[in-house]
Amino acid sequence: MGSRLLVESHKEVEIVCGIVAITSEKLFSVKKDLLFGLKKLEYRGYDSAGFATTEGNYGKEVGDIDNLLRSTQKDFLTKTAISHTRWATHGGVTKQNAHPHFDAKKEVFLVHNGIIENFLELKAALEAKGYIFRTETDTEVIVNFLHDRMKTSKPIDAMRDFMKAAKGTYAVVFFKTGSDKLYAMKKDSPLCLGVSKGRVFVASDIYAFSHETDRVIFFEDYEMAEVSPQGFQFFGMSGPMKKEPVQIQWEREPVIKKHFDHFMLKEICEQPAAVERLLHSLKTTQAKRMGEIADMVRGCKRIFFLACGTSYHAALIGSYLLSRLGFEAHAVIASEFEDFSIIDKDTVVFAVSQSGETMDVITVLKDIKRFNPKIIAIVNYPYSSVHRMADNYIEIMAGQEICVAATKTFTNTLVAIYELARVLRNHIVLDRIPSIIEEVISENESNVKRLAKKLKDKHDIFVLGHRVSYPIAREIALKLKEISYVHAEGMMAGELKHGTIALIEPGVPVIGLVHESNRDRMDSALREVQARGADVYKIGNHSKDFMLPDGLNEEEYSIVSTIIGHLLAYHIAKLNGLPIDKPRNLAKSVTVK
C-alpha cells in the first residue's frame, strides 16, 4: 500500500550566494587568489561582494565582483581570508548589508549563505545583552551570537550552540581576528572543503578551487570544521569525527567569454561539443549506469520527474516519452509536490537539477526518503547535494555554465532523457544532433537578428506548441521573460481558444512551433490567431522565418527549436541593452518557498 506524501511546511529558503575562504601556510593575494575563486561563483549572486582578512582588513561593494576589484586599490597579502558574493534576501542591496559581517569590536568576521528563520527572536535576545545591530540582514545575528558564546566557549561549542538555537538554512564560514584558523558549519546550504599542498579552501562550490585541487570533502548537515593551513578537524553534534578527502574529476576550463560578447551566446554555441561529449559518455562510461537505471524503471509502478524552472520543462518531456512507452509517469514542480503524489518503494523519482543544489528539490527528497523510493539524479554537477542523495545518477556533462539562464544544460538534460527513452526501447536517433545544432546556429543568425528587431519593443509574446513542443514553448517563453524582460506565455495550441485568445489583437506576436508530428493542430491554431490580426512566426521545416534541415525527428526538432528561441531572447535583450548574463533579481541556484 502506498503512502501519501506529507511534506513538512517550510518557510522562505534560499541557497544562493557564493562563499570562498582560504587559509594558507604562505601569503596569498586577495585579488589574484581569493577573489579569483569568488569570481568563478558569481553566478550564485551578484548584488554585492566583499572580503576580509584575519589582519582586520576588509572591503565591500554593491554590484558585481568587478566593482569590488576596482574599488579595492590595495592588494592585501594574507594567510587567511574569507569572501562572499551576495544575492539579497534579508535586507536591501547596500554596502552595509554586504558580507562579510562582523561584531562591533571587529573580533569576528563571518560570511553566510542561507536564511535564519527565527533571526528576530535571536536578535531580541542579543539586544537584551547589549549587542547593537547595524544592518538589515539575518547574518548579523549569527556573528553576534557566536561572538557572545565565544566569550566563554570554544568556537566549535559556540557553533554547536548556534545550530541548536537556529531555525533555517545556512552555510557559515568565519574567523577570529589575528587567528590563522577558519571555522565552518552547514545545514542545507552547500559547503565543501578543498585540500591543496599547504593551503585549504572552504567554498560553496567545488568549482571555486578546481584550478588548484581535486581533493574534496563535502559537509553534511549539522557538521562543523576547524581548518588551518596544516589541516582540518571535523565535528558532529556529539563530538569529533573523521573525514577524508575524495578525489574527484571535473573540467578545468578557464572562465572566459573568448570572442563572444556574452557568456549566454558562448554557451549556446558550445552545444554541439557539449552534446557530443555527453553522447560519447552515454555510450561508454555511463552506459552501464544507464542500463541499471532502465532496469529500475522497468521494475517500478510509477515514475515522477521532480524539477523546477527550466529543468521542469525537460521533466515534462521525460514524462511524455515514458508515458508513451507505457509507464505511469508524471512531471511535478518540486514546490508543488506537497500532498500531490503516492510514494512508496515501487516508485522511481527522477530529481532533475542542473546545479544539484535546488533547495525545493532537496527538501522533497529529504521528505520522501522515509518511503524508500528509488531516486535517480539528473545533474550537471556530480558530487552535488542531489547527486549524493540519489541511488543512481545521470551526469549531463554540459560543462560550467556561467550565464544565469540555462541553455546548454537544458539541451544536455533533454539528450540524457532521450537516451534513457532509447534504452527503454523508444526508436530515437540521437547521433545527428551535434551537427544539426551547428547547422541551425550558423544558418539562422541573420534570421534570428531580423526577428529580434521586429520584436524588441513588444510587450507580449505568445509561444504555441503541441506534444513535445509544448514544453519547448514554455521554455522559450521563460527565456524571453528572464533575459528580454518580455511578458511571454508558452502554452498548448489546443488551449488557446479556452480563454487566452481574448488577448490576441492586431500586431500581437505569436510564435508557433510546427513539426510534422503536430502540423495539423498547430496550423489550425495559428490560423485562428492570424484571423484576429496576430503577427505569426513559425519555427518549422516549411517556415519562411527560419531555416531548419529537412527530415528532423521530433527529438531533433525539440532541441533546435529551443536553440532558436534562446537565440531570439538573447538578441532581443542585446538590442535593448539588458544585462544578459546577470538578469535582474535572478541567480543560478535559487529557490524560495
In the annotation, is 308 catalytic? no
Amino acid 251: pLDDT = 57
CB 82 within 8 A of CB 175: yes
Point out the catalytic residue in the list 17, 269, 308, 403: 17
pTM: 0.79
CB 54 within 8 A of CB 179: yes
For 19-49, what is each residue's pLDDT tens digit? 999 999 999 999 999 999 888 887 777 788 9
CATH number attached to the domain at 18-247: 3.60.20.10
Q: What percent of the residues of the chain are helix, what percent strand, and what percent coil, each to the nearest 5?
A: 35, 25, 40
Count of residues for the chain?
593
CB 380 within 8 A of CB 404: no
Q: How many CB atoms lie within 10 A of CB 568?
A: 28
The C-alpha angle 191, 17, 311, rounded to 5 degrees, equals 85
What the block records as the C-alpha cell of 140 is 548579523
Point out the catalytic residue in the list 151, 497, 588, 593: 588
For 345-377, what is each residue's pLDDT tens digit? 999 999 999 888 888 999 999 999 999 999 999
In the annotation, is 269 catalytic? no
Amino acid 589: pLDDT = 57
Task: With a cut of 70, list the residues of the chain below it in pLDDT.
Answer: 1-16, 88, 90-91, 249-256, 339-341, 587-593
Amino acid 9: pLDDT = 30
Task: Tell the residue number behind the cell numbers 541573420, with chain if given.
Answer: 446
**Cα dihedral angle (87, 210, 278, 416), rounded to 10 degrees?**
-40
Long-range CB contact pairs, 90-94, < 8 A, 24+? 90/115, 90/119, 90/136, 90/137, 90/138, 90/139, 91/135, 91/136, 91/137, 91/138, 92/136, 93/47, 93/48, 93/62, 94/48, 94/62, 94/136
Q: At what angle do helices 139-149 and 155-165 cross, to 10 degrees?
A: 130
CATH number attached to the domain at 257-431: 3.40.50.10490
Amino acid 252: pLDDT = 53
3.40.50.300, 2.40.50.1020, 3.40.50.10490, 2.120.10.70: CATH of 437-582: 3.40.50.10490
Spans of all domains in the chain: 18-247, 257-431, 437-582
